[in-house]
Structure 1
Amino acid sequence: MIEKVNPAHPDKIADRIAGAIVDLAYQTEENPKIAVEVLIGHGKCHAIIETTAFIDREEIAKAIGRIAGMLDLEIDVVRQDKLLAKNQEGKIRCGDNGIFMGMPLTKEQLELSRIARMLYSSFEADGKYILDGDRLIICQSHASSDLIRRLFPDVVINPLGDWTGGTDVDTGAVNRKLGSDMADSVTGGGLHGKDLSKADVSVNIHAFLKAQHTGEPVEISCAIGDEFVDGIPYEKIVEEAREFIWSVGGFEKFAEWGLF
């Protein structure tokens, strides 16, 4: 049993905005320290950005407008805490405490990911999808039910009827759809809106990739400042995550679908 939401879902719009802002930080520094929170809905967007990197507010506003349209913006940019920044000086160390479990993806999870992407490419509107064995539930705004039924004759579509979708119907917040992004994998934090030093990003990616490679569950714990995690130098885990993020097109693209 698995649920996926598509990139037009309000929570994913918030994730994508946060990812785009992290991308901006990496354009100015090789290893910035940044954490972004975004709340969006009903014509407004509030972004709080804690960062070591200089990011032009106009570029932030452009990124938000490109992803979410014209909104009333409240953008707060603050420097990272001095003591926390000092802990990271001189070497890449684990940037957070956390517990993580990577799980191999099931055929059911991979199939729903395929279906979700196909529907999004067709409609590019807010959608949420559940697959539980043979039962497929599609909640898709701005969609032709007849067209969907041609593809999936036994599907349940919009059980309560048509709906508008988007941020004028629902609010969005960063990291609120981790089940959609991670399937059965488990994290104490969130994937989006953070730099690669954060375990919530790099250790989650490492645990997930290791589980896909081994076909077995992976359990990892770490503490802020650790130089080795899962028996590996932390800087190697960061580089593994960097390669994965760049392979999908950056933090904003990563935020569209998460790990699968």
Structure 2
Amino acid sequence: MFEKVNPAHPDKVADRIAGAVVDIAYETQIDPKVAVEVLIGHGVCHIIAETSAKLNKKKVVAAVHRIAGNLDVDLVVVPQDAHLARNQADAIRCGDNGIFKGMPMTEEQKTLSGIARDIYKACSYDGKYIIDGDRLIICQSNAKTDHLREIYPAAEINPLGDWTGGTDVDTGATNRKLGSDMADSVTGGGLHGKDLSKADVSVNIYAFLKAQEAGKPVQFCCAIGDETVGGIPYEEIVETARAYIKSVGGFEAFAEWGLV
């Protein structure tokens, strides 16, 4: 059983905006410290960013308009906490506490991820999809139900009929769709809107990738300030996550689909 949402779902729009802000921070520093929360809906996008980087407000607003349309942007930027900054001052250490369990993807999860991507290529609007064995549920806005039924004749499609979604119908918030992004993997924190020093980003990515390699669960826990996690240098974990983020096109692109 698995649920997947596409990049136009309001929660994913919020994740993508948070990722775009992190990308902007990395344009100004090699290793910025940044944590971003986004709440979006009904014509307004609220952003709170705690960061060591100097964010260009025009670039942030432009990113919001590019991703979500011409919304009013309420942007609050504050410095990173001084105690947290000292933790990172002279070495690469864990930027937060956390638990992390990477799980190998199942064939069912791979199937639904493929379906979600195929539908989104043809119809880039708000959509949500569920698979449970032989049961497939497709809720796709701004699409003709009859057309989808021709492609997926056995699926339950738009149970209430044709509909229009997006941020004028529903609000979106960062890290509210972690099940969609991580499948059976488990985390105590959020995956999006943070820099690579945060274990919520780097250790989650590392654990997921190692689980795919091993074909079995991979678990870690860490405390803020740790220089190793599970016997692995934290710097190595960060660099593995950095390479992965680069391979998918940055933090905004990562937020579109997550790890699954």
TM-score, normalisation: structure 1 = 0.99
What number of residue pairs does the alignment pair up? 260
Identical columns (%): 70
Query: 2:17 aligns to what SS in structure 1?
Result: helix
Structure 1 stretches (4+) deviating beyond 2 angstroms? none
Alignment of 1:1-260 (within 5 A): 1-260=1-260
Judge which range, 247-256 or 87-96, deviates more: 87-96
Per-residue displacement from partner, 1:211-232 (whole Å, max 9, x unpaired)? 0000011111100000001211
Deviation at 1:41, TM superposition (A): 0.2
Q: Does the Cα contact within 8 Å between 2:145 and 2:161 map onto a contact in 1?
A: no
Q: Is the 8 A contact 2:145 2:162 kept in 1?
A: no
Alpha-carbon deviations, 1:162-199, whole Å to 9, x = none?
22100000000000000000000000001100000000
Work out whether residues 84 and 95 of structure 2, in 8 Å CA contact, stay in contact via their aligned partners in 1: no
Query: Following TM superposition, by how much is the alpha carbon of 1:134 offset from its aligned partner in structure 2, in angstroms?
Result: 0.8
For residues 257 and 18 of structure 1, the distance between their equivalents in structure 2, rounded to whole angstroms, comes to 14
Instruction: Give secondary structure in 1 for the equivalent of 2:60.
Output: helix
Q: Give structure 2 stretches of 5+ with no counterpart.
A: none
Give the aligned residue type for 1:45.
C
**In 1, distance between residues paired with 2:74 and 2:134?**
45
Query: What TM-score does the superposition give when structure 2 sets the normalisation length?
Result: 0.99
**Residue 192 of structure 2 aligns to a residue in which SS?**
coil
Residue identity opposite 2:145 in structure 1? S
CA distance in 2 between counterparts of 1:174 and 1:227 reads: 28
**Cα offset for 1:89?**
0.4
Deviation by residue 1:104-154 (Cα, 9 ceiling, x = unmatched): 000000000000000000000000000111110000001122221121111
Computed over aligned residues only, the root mean square deviation of the Cα atoms, in angstroms, reads 0.6
Q: The residue matched to 2:161 in structure 1 has which SS? A: coil
Are 2:48 and 2:77, in contact at CA under 8 Å, matched by a contact in 1?
yes
Distance 2:98 2:166 in 1: 33
